[in-house]
């Protein structure tokens, strides 16, 4: 697979990443890192591992905590579970309003000097936080949601990243599965599925948003591709420093997603997509209200 570079300090990664949360979702980050550590050990030097800090004891249920001592503790625990001596990309999971972002960046800078971390990342951070952090320790990548049905980053975030030389890693590039066409108004999610509490996935909003899936289907037919491949290829075409991380637990979906990396959308294709989307208004918020408050603006 081709490579892309995140940030100005030379972090080279594959054109597509793999979002791994779903591999053990519901069992916490600890089982997830242990699983990855075991799986990647034989090929450790061939992959770039990204993980996060920013919650108390690494547990999202316990609230935000990016105090320097907590960052260090999470780093050591992650290194142990991942069975590795370095983390290529260490993200702050969410901006902590109780800890100056300069202190966060400074602590990660120390870990970088010690060789335990290679590059610093932020997740869902707003423009001012990004600028302040970057002034202390260059930020290699920002990880936030971006897709054909969530284009908010285009307003302020993408221009800022271009200015500062920061890469962008979109999570949920397939709209949590909606853009694949596999979900419609009749779909029933399992009881523990996060989408049950996401406003955008209410039955009413799934019906309202079906037009976007129809548009993707028509474009996909013309390119002999799947909807998922079109959605990912569209992201890749936006900037050469964008690296989506679709997640999956199925091998055939992984292979399908990888096919997007070789799918070229030319200016005519992109204009057609843009024109079609201009006529569609996406319905529903991407997060329930209590989670939306965690996103730094």
- How far apart are alpha carbons 297 and 127 in whole angstroms? 7
Tokens 């450790």: give the residue.
44
- How far apart are alpha carbons 258 and 18 in whole angstroms? 10
Which residues carry out catalysis? 27
132 CB neighbour count, 10 Å cutoff: 16
Element (H, E) at 124: none
Please enumerate in sequence order all residues whose Cβ is within 8 A of that of 111, keeping only pairs 6 or more positions apart, or say none.
71, 72, 75, 90, 117
- How far apart are alpha carbons 38 and 297 in whole angstroms? 37
Per DSSP, 242 falls in state B
- How far apart are alpha carbons 227 and 5 in whole angstroms? 26
- How far apart are alpha carbons 140 and 115 in whole angstroms? 16
227 CB neighbour count, 10 Å cutoff: 25
- How far apart are alpha carbons 188 and 205 in whole angstroms? 14
């Amino acid at each position: 697979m081709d490579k892309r570079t995140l940030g100005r300090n030379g972090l080279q990664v594959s054109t597509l990443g793999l979002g791994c949360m779903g591999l053990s979702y519901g069992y916490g980050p600890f089982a997830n890192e242990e699983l990855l550590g075991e799986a990647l050990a034989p090929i450790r030097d061939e992959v770039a591992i990204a993980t996060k800090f920013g919650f108390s004891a690494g547990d999202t249920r316990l609230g935000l905590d990016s105090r320097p001592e907590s960052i260090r503790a999470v780093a050591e625990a992650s290194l142990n579970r991942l069975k590795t001596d370095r983390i290529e990309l260490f993200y702050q999971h969410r901006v902590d309003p109780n800890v100056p972002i300069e202190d966060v960046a400074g602590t990660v800078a120390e870990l970088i000097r010690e060789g335990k971390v290679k590059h610093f990342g932020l997740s869902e951070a707003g423009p001012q936080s990004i600028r302040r952090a970057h002034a202390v320790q260059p930020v290699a990548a920002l990880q936030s949601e971006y897709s054909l049905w969530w284009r908010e980053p285009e307003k302020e975030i993408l221009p800022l990243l271009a200015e500062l030389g920061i890469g962008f890693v979109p999570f949920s590039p397939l709209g949590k599965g909606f853009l694949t066409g596999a979900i419609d108004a009749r779909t029933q999610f399992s009881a523990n599925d996060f989408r049950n509490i996401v406003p955008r996935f209410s039955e009413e909003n799934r019906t309202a948003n079906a037009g976007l899936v129809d548009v993707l289907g028509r474009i996909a037919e013309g390119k002999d591709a799947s909807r998922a491949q079109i959605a990912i290829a569209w992201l890749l075409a936006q900037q050469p420093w964008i690296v989506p991380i679709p997640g999956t637990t199925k091998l055939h979906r992984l292979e399908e997603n990888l096919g997007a990396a070789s799918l070229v959308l030319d200016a005519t294709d992109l204009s057609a997509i843009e024109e079609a989307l201009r006529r569609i208004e996406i319905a529903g918020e991407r997060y329930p209200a209590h989670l939306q408050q965690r996103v730094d603006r």
